[in-house]
């Protein structure tokens, strides 16, 4: 038996890379198929090789066991990553601020660090960039600005992907695959155009895939999504998934303050100071969504 990592999962076949870097196309053992937990990219597995990889192609094998996950994101489905990179374009498609916060909540729930990457900086004017800076002051997550067209900021992004495993997440068409092609020549990921009429991507990337980077990092390119439910989160867990609210919790009048309309709530005082008003709106919106 060998240990490896699922780097691709398509139609009941799993590509598993072992510790030596060889790849095996595997099926899952019957009992694993029946279990409720589907195998996903990033899973660490024990597998039995059937054929060794040769000059003609990769090996084959059977996955016998899935090892416990350190963490798990439901959407995009990926396991055992070290950080989540939310990729958002500033235009074409327009930046969806609430979606950034949604992805961040799911990452926070798994105690995963979040990095926000604003892509397509080449499409906005310097005046728009100034407005943007006002909007993200303050912001609870580190931010990188990139253009996969000009290459601006891509070194910064690549440096932040070094030495760890990152999951890219974001809507279709924001440039996730194009960015990866830029920072790691040779990946040759398929990219798609953005519809002029509806301003959305065309769901070009169909399956998540874990890709090695030459700086010791790895990254999971994922299919874009349009909706993201915060299912399975209790309303009282939400504030814990907003670091700026978590930071003020001890200063609120009530220990279990939900920062809604409670008296002596520190969030009111911090609004516009350490708490970004737009982020606080997202919090209130999600709170309503979870209370329905």
Ligand X SMILES: Nc1nc2c(ncn2[C@@H]2O[C@H](COP(=O)(O)OP(=O)(O)OP(=O)(O)O)[C@@H](O)[C@H]2O)c(=O)[nH]1
Q: Which residues bind Mg ion (CB under 5 A)?
A: 176-177, 204-205
Indicate which single residue of 173, 218, 228, 244 sits in contact with ligand X (rule: CB under 6 A): 173
- The reply on whether position 5 binds ligand X by CB under 6 A is no
Q: Which stretch binds ligand X (CB under 6 A): 32-40, 199-207, 244-252, 262-270?
A: 199-207
- The reply on whether position 239 binds Zn ion by CB under 5 A is no
Q: The tokens of 36 are what?
A: 């409720």
Place of tokens 């708490």: 275
Q: The tokens of 272 are what?
A: 């516009």
Indicate which single residue of 144, 157, 252, 275 sits in contact with Zn ion (rule: CB under 5 A): 252
- The reply on whether position 76 binds ligand X by CB under 6 A is no
- The reply on whether position 77 binds ligand X by CB under 6 A is no
Binding partner selected for residue 259 from Mg ion, Zn ion, ligand X, none, CB under the kind-specific 5 to 8 Å limit: Zn ion
Place of tokens 């930071």: 247
Q: The tokens of 273 are what?
A: 């100071």
Q: Which stretch binds ligand X (CB under 6 A): 14-22, 23-31, 168-176, 235-243?
A: 168-176
Measured from the CB of residue 243, what is the shortest distance to Zn ion in angstroms?
14
> Is the previous residue joined to 120 through a cis bond, with omega within 30 degrees of 0?
no
User: How many angstroms separate the CA atoms of 141 and 222, rounded?
Assistant: 21
User: What residues pair up with 261 in beta bridges, in sequence order?
Assistant: none
- The reply on whether position 15 binds ligand X by CB under 6 A is no
210 Cβ contact partners less than 8 Å away, ≥ 6 residues apart: 5, 6, 7, 8, 17, 41, 42, 165, 218, 219, 220
Binding partner selected for residue 265 from Mg ion, ligand X, Zn ion, none, CB under the kind-specific 5 to 8 Å limit: Zn ion
Indicate which single residue of 201, 208, 213, 282 sits in contact with ligand X (rule: CB under 6 A): 201
Q: The tokens of 138 are what?
A: 């303050």
Indicate which single residue of 4, 76, 140, 224 sits in contact with ligand X (rule: CB under 6 A): 224
User: Per-residue string for binding with ligand X, 102-141, x by CB under 6 A?
Assistant: -----------------xx-xx------------------
- The reply on whether position 83 binds ligand X by CB under 6 A is no
**Please, are residues 146 and 114 in contact by the beta-carbon 8 Å criterion?**
no
- The reply on whether position 191 binds ligand X by CB under 6 A is yes
**Please, are residues 4 and 17 in contact by the beta-carbon 8 Å criterion?**
yes
Indicate which single residue of 17, 223, 259, 267 sits in contact with ligand X (rule: CB under 6 A): 223
Measured from the CB of residue 96, what is the shortest distance to ligand X in angstroms?
13
DSSP 57-93: B-EEEEEEEEPPPS-EETTTTEES-SEEEEEEESTTT
Q: What are phi and psi for residue 210, nearest 5 degrees?
A: -90, 120
Residues lying near ligand X in the complex (CB under 6 A): 119-120, 122-123, 147-149, 172-178, 191-194, 201-205, 223-224
């Amino acid at each position: 038996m060998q240990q490896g990592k699922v780097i691709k999962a398509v139609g009941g076949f799993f590509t598993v890379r072992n510790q030596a870097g060889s790849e095996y196309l595997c099926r899952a053992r019957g009992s694993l198929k029946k279990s409720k937990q589907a195998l996903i990219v990033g899973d660490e597995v024990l597998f039995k090789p059937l054929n060794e990889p040769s000059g003609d192609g990769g090996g084959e094998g059977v996955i016998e066991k899935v090892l416990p996950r350190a963490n798990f994101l439901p959407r995009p489905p990926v396991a055992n990553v070290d950080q989540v990179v939310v990729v958002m374009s500033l235009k074409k498609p327009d930046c969806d601020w609430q979606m950034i916060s949604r992805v961040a909540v799911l990452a926070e729930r798994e105690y995963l660090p979040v990095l926000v990457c604003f892509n397509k900086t080449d499409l906005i004017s310097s005046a728009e960039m100034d407005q943007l800076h006002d909007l993200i002051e303050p912001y609870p997550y580190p931010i990188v600005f990139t253009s996969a067209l000009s290459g601006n900021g891509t070194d910064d992004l690549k440096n932040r992907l070094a030495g760890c495993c990152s999951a890219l997440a974001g809507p279709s068409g924001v440039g996730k695959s194009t960015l990866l092609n830029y920072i790691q020549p040779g990946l040759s990921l398929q990219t798609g155009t953005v519809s002029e009429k509806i301003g959305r991507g065309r769901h070009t990337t169909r399956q998540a895939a874990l890709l090695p980077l030459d700086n010791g990092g790895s990254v999971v390119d994922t299919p874009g999504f349009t909706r993201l439910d915060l299912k399975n989160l209790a309303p009282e867990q939400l504030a814990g998934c907003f670091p700026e609210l978590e930071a003020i919790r001890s200063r609120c009048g009530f220990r279990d303050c939900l920062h809604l309309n409670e008296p002596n709530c520190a969030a009111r005082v911090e609004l516009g100071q350490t708490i970004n008003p737009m982020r606080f709106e997202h919090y209130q919106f999600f709170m309503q969504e979870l209370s329905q």
